Amino acid sequence: MTGRQTVYLTRDVPQEGIDRLEEECEVVVWEEKTAPPHDTLVEELAECEAAALFCTVSDVVDAEVLDASPALEVVGTMSVGYDHVDLEAAAERDIPVGYTPGVLSETTADFGWALLMAAARRVTEADHYVHDGEWETWGPKILLGRDVFDATLGVVGLGSIGTAFARRAAGFDMDVCYTATEPKEECEAELAEYGIDAEFCELDDLLERSDYVSLHVPLDDETAGLIGEHELDLMGEDAVLVNTARGEVVDTDALEAALEEDRIRHAALDVTDPEPLPADHSLLDYAPEKLTIAPHIGSASVETRTEMAVMTADNILAGLRGEPMPNSATENAGVEE
Ligand code: DGY
């Protein structure tokens, strides 16, 4: 026995995060490609008497998980979103929860643009076209996309990622409108420095006006199913929907119907409901012509995932020392610890 506390990691994460934890703790890593199933996670935590749980967006951290190890003192999620963690249950048990805000905003905004551009200029279709041996000639009407420059961009949720995403529109001379729970003067001022006059508007108005709609809201009771049949109808047949937020923000059945009936032009999704999306899911029938899809990789750059792992380790170590976490989801969500 070393007398050191144990941190249980549900995934193998960038080594820098593990090294940081090993300076002060014993580390147990679930080495599989997929996250431990819920029951297995409960068993694993109990078995190693974990004092800390290092989790990701793939883990459901509910009361049962929080009660699995009597020694459990802290939870750190390697994510900015914490909808998978029951913060109330954690607070009831005096278990602080850390998260990783800010660090992934630029990387996720980059990826949102990768999806937007791929959808606008039919990049995935073009790739298939060449691989499938269809490229016989330059063609005046082959794979015509839609312009991004001069178009209208609607940003749903102007937080850190939404602002970083909107800022990139400056290079494309776009009109930018946004919706949020209230006008965001600071974010507007930041965007104004880049020559963007971001206009606050209601969601319905934004959907009607925008050629490209990009979602950047956290998942909560207010935002679950935010984009449904009515909203997709407002978007119109030439509009593109980009989602790098959470799959549940969009009603999948309504989206499928809208794609089927050409009520919107394209959906470009990094997140889905369900997630992961089974390979035989009917939504995939629309790819690549109407659907561009990625497996939740918005923050997946070497630099950012490394920083996220280290931030998560720092949150956990602070919590184990009884110090305030550098980034506390518990406090951010306004739940009393
Ligand atoms: C997050 O951090 O919440 C992303 O969805 C995964 O990086």
Q: What is the pTM of this model?
A: 0.96
Task: Give dist(CA 72, CA 52) in Å, integer.
Answer: 6
- Tens digit of pLDDT for each residue in 65-121? 999 999 999 999 999 999 999 999 999 999 999 999 999 999 999 999 999 999 999
Residue ranges, comma separated, of all CATH 3.40.50.720 domains in the chain are 6-103+302-332, 105-293
Task: Please tell me the predicted confidence (pLDDT) of residue 191.
Answer: 98
Residue closest via CA to ligand 1's atom 6 equals: 79
Residue 311 in contact with ligand 1 by CB distance below 6 A: no
Is the CB of residue 217 less than 8 Å from the CB of residue 245?
yes
**Is the distance from the beta carbon of residue 104 to the nearest atom of ligand 1 less than 6 Å?**
yes
Q: Catalytic site residues?
A: 246, 275, 296
* Start-to-end C-alpha separation, the chain: 31
Name the percent of the chain lying above pLDDT 90. 98
Confidence of residue 3 (pLDDT cuts 50, 70, 90): confident
User: Which CATH superfamily, name and number, covers 105-293?
Assistant: NAD(P)-binding Rossmann-like Domain (3.40.50.720)
> Is the beta carbon of 217 within 6 A of some atom in ligand 1?
no
Q: Is the CB of 160 under 6 A from ligand 1?
A: no
Please name the fold of domain 6-103+302-332: Rossmann fold (3.40.50)
Q: Which atom of ligand 1 is nearest to the CA of 245?
A: 5
Does position 337 have pLDDT exceeding 60, yes or no? no
Segments in the chain forming alpha helices (H) = 15-22, 38-47, 63-66, 87-92, 105-120, 123-131, 160-167, 185-192, 203-209, 229-235, 252-260, 302-320, 329-332
For residue 299 and ligand 1, the question of a CB distance below 6 A is answered with yes
The confidence score (pLDDT) of residue 113 equals 98
Q: How far is the CA of 135 from the centre of ligand 1 (A)?
A: 38
Distance CA 217, CA 11 (A): 26
What's the CA gap between 92 and 336, in Å, rounded?
A: 9
Residues 290-300: pLDDT tens digits?
999 999 999 99
Q: Residue holding tokens 């934890």?
A: 21
pLDDT of residue 225: 98
- To test the pocket of ligand 1, the residue of 57, 59, 244, 305 to mutate (highest count of ligand atoms within 8 Å of its CB) is 57
